Amino acid sequence: MDAINVNVAGIGAGLFAATYTAYHVYVGLTGPLASLPGPTWSKFTGLPVVYHIHRGTRMYFLHDLHKRYGPIVRVTPNEVSISDPKAAKEIHKFRSEYLKTQFYEDASFDEAQNVFTTADPVYHAEWRKLFAKSVSQSNLITFQPLIQKYVDILIRQRERERREQGYVDLVKWFKSFTSDVTGELSVGSSLGMLETGEGDWSKTRHLPCFPFSTLRGVSTRLNSVAKAYIDDYRARVAAGGAGSTTTTILLDRALETQAREKGSISEHEILSNAVILMLAGTDTTANTLAYMLWLLFKFPDIKAQLDEEIDEARLPGKPGIEDLAKLKYLDYFMLEVMRLYGAAPGPLQRKVPKGGRDICGYFVPAGMTVSPLGFSISRDPVVYPEPDTFNPDRWADATTAMKEADFSFGGGTRICLGMHIANLEMKMVVVAFLRSSLSDAQLAYGINGASDNWPTENFPGGRVAFLLSHNNLMWC
């Protein structure tokens, strides 16, 4: 009897597995996305995409699929990748009905929402309004003295390191610089990384690399670090000390609103938004700065043109925003760096709204995920002739199509809140570097073994040192 029962159970399990498989094969072959271009496996599984996420090569993998299949490609049973700039613009336009997907909700540190992860447009609008004045172009003058302080420390410390050991680890110093600036702007306190040359890594080691699924596991430690800084800032403001004269992106307005409108903002919300600001403004800007310096050494003619522009501008020792605005070729250089090596080259996932939408000649039903791929959009050969060529001069006569295809900071209402601050940081650092004794350094090792494809999506084991030396070949 036992043998019969086991046999029946085995048959039942086999039938269930067969039915389950047949159902998904049927749906994959006949479902609403069945007619879309894409590899056969995408009808049944997303495992190849997951594999490349963990390798840090997703953007290259998806880009190759677009080269083969065109501007719209099915990449999983429920996700479509988009490389068409016009379609991307429609998806990310202001007041877009395409909302963020569950992927972003999973990026939350705890149950509290924040301005980055929320899919709720009303909640996002409320918090964006809190940030709006602080992060506006017109308010940059408020933050420039603070950024200048850390630029001066950055240059001084890098020159010291070169004298002492013969080379400079630029990535280390850029991460220290952006961590200190972002810490000051988000929670009112520097992390102290530039001054010591090492920094308080007991705090920064809690800042995790993506993918986002790792974030919840460190939320308790990370939030405790942010809370300590916020409590300290509150105490300084209450005492009329340093905190009362320090302007932050978030805390001043959030704490003022919290005090004025009881129950309007929770402590968890302040923590969650402070932490996401620290994360969003650190590695992104540091990595882009590393690319900028790498490209300056890779293309000495471009570096010489920037040197000439800076000399002709006759900038003061500490140039102001109006002084930096004169450097048009530097603007072109930065735009081209971010086109090819932007900090957000991966898919920006959105959910198709009710009723479905026609995209690139195909109907995509409601609830499906559409993912404009920044890496491919910025290499569209129609918009950017010879797209793989690094050419800052293309931006001297930038077309409307070029500007609209620029998703280096995202797009629409969900565009990066700190983009003006990030641009100012990068411009100040590049100018200071070119005017320092480090400007005659040589590229010692390159990025990722002298490869042109330094991964810009973070993944385990993906940290790469970028070293410069004077007549010393270094390795990492």
Q: How far is 141 from 344, CA to CA, in rounded Å? A: 26
Tell me, what amino acid is at 243?
G
Could you tell me which residues are annotated as the binding site? 416
Q: How far is CA 359 from CA 59, 76, 81, 336, 353, in A?
A: 21, 17, 11, 28, 12
**Secondary element (H or E) of residue 63:** helix 58-69
Asked if 366 and 354 count as a contact pair (C-beta separation under 8 A), the reply is: yes
- Tokens of residue 391, six digits: 């050419």
Phi (first) and psi of residue 410, to 5 degrees: 85, -155
Neighbouring-strand partners of residue 363: 358
Could you tell me which residues are annotated as the binding site for heme? 416
- Tokens of residue 241, six digits: 């000390």
DSSP string, 188-219: SS---HHHHSS--HHHHTTSPPSSGGGSGGGH
Taking the CA atoms of the chain, what radius of gyration do you get in angstroms? 24
Strands 167-169 and 350-351, how do they pair?
unpaired
- Tokens of residue 440, six digits: 């005659």
Neighbouring-strand partners of residue 79: 76, 369
